[in-house]
Amino acid sequence: MKGNILIIGASGDIGSAIAIKLGNEGYQLLLHYHKNVDNINHIRSQLKSDSILSEIQADLSDNNGIKRLISAVVFKVDHIVFAGGHAYYGLLQETSEKVMDEMLTIHVKAPMLITKHLLPSMIHQKFGNIVVLSSIWGEAGASMEVVYSTVKGAQNSFVKSLAKEIKTSGISINAISPGFIDTKMNQHLSNIEREIIVQDIPLKRAGCPNDIAHSVSFLINQPSNHIHGQIIGVDGAW
């Protein structure tokens, strides 16, 4: 096997595509999920039995869930992929404080605490990659998605800052910034709204989860860690 990868949010459309690709490439996986155990079972059905080291259920929207996940990681972790989280659509003035707290915890606090816990052992072995799935809105911002855009912007700052802090450690950290990807996260859009967005994308198609999975695979497999602290757009030039 090529190494152990912790995938946060492995049960999402993008997370499961990443898990299947990396598992088929010979990595052993630690799969985190919150509720969607069906997708975890689907991942298992697509991989060899020894590809999955553990499955960890935890709600990362509160501190207890984060602690639960950290305590359940008993295997050595060589790479981390943060693919978890969800969008929130609505006017800022109508957004509750509870939603704000949950979004900040899932997208910002959880990645920082998980990284803080696992980073010392990764630095000790002087090897590893951290990949954060951000969003095009973390750079551009989006109306009706102010909270989501804000936490994704914070993820980008986390990547850029930590890259400088661990610059001589042998660990690489980067973010992938997806554009419009055909997942359940965009189910709230009507067919007309989807078509308008697609027509704005120079490639004239929505991205798919495998587009992101290939990019994650590249960052983990690439032979040089000179790609470091980057926010890499996978958006069809949108």
Q: DSSP secondary-structure letter at 107?
A: I
The whole-number pLDDT of residue 119 equals 98
Question: Which listed residue (27, 33, 89, 148) is catalytic?
Answer: 148
Q: What Å distances lie between residue 234 and 4, 57, 133, 159, 160, CA to CA?
A: 25, 29, 10, 17, 18
Structural domains of the chain, with CATH: 4-234 (3.40.50.720)
The whole-number pLDDT of residue 237 equals 86
Q: Contact 6/80 with Cβ under 8 angstroms?
A: yes
Please count the other Cβ atoms lying within 10 Å of the Cβ belonging to residue 102: 19
Q: DSSP secondary-structure letter at 1?
A: -
Helix ranges (DSSP H) in 47-136: 63-72, 97-104, 110-125
pLDDT in tens, the chain (238 residues): 799 999 999 999 999 999 999 999 999 999 999 999 999 999 999 999 999 999 999 999 999 999 999 999 999 999 999 999 999 999 999 999 999 999 999 999 999 999 999 999 999 999 999 999 999 999 999 999 999 999 999 999 999 999 999 999 999 999 999 999 888 777 777 888 888 888 998 889 988 999 999 999 999 997 667 899 999 999 998 8
The whole-number pLDDT of residue 223 equals 63
Name residue, tokens 């999920």: 33
Torsional sign, CA 40, 44, 50, 51 = negative
The whole-number pLDDT of residue 191 equals 86
- 27 in active site: no
* Among 114, 121, 113, 137, residue whose Cα is nearest residue 185: 137
Helix ranges (DSSP H) in 47-96: 63-72
233 phi/psi in degrees, rounded to 5: -75, 130
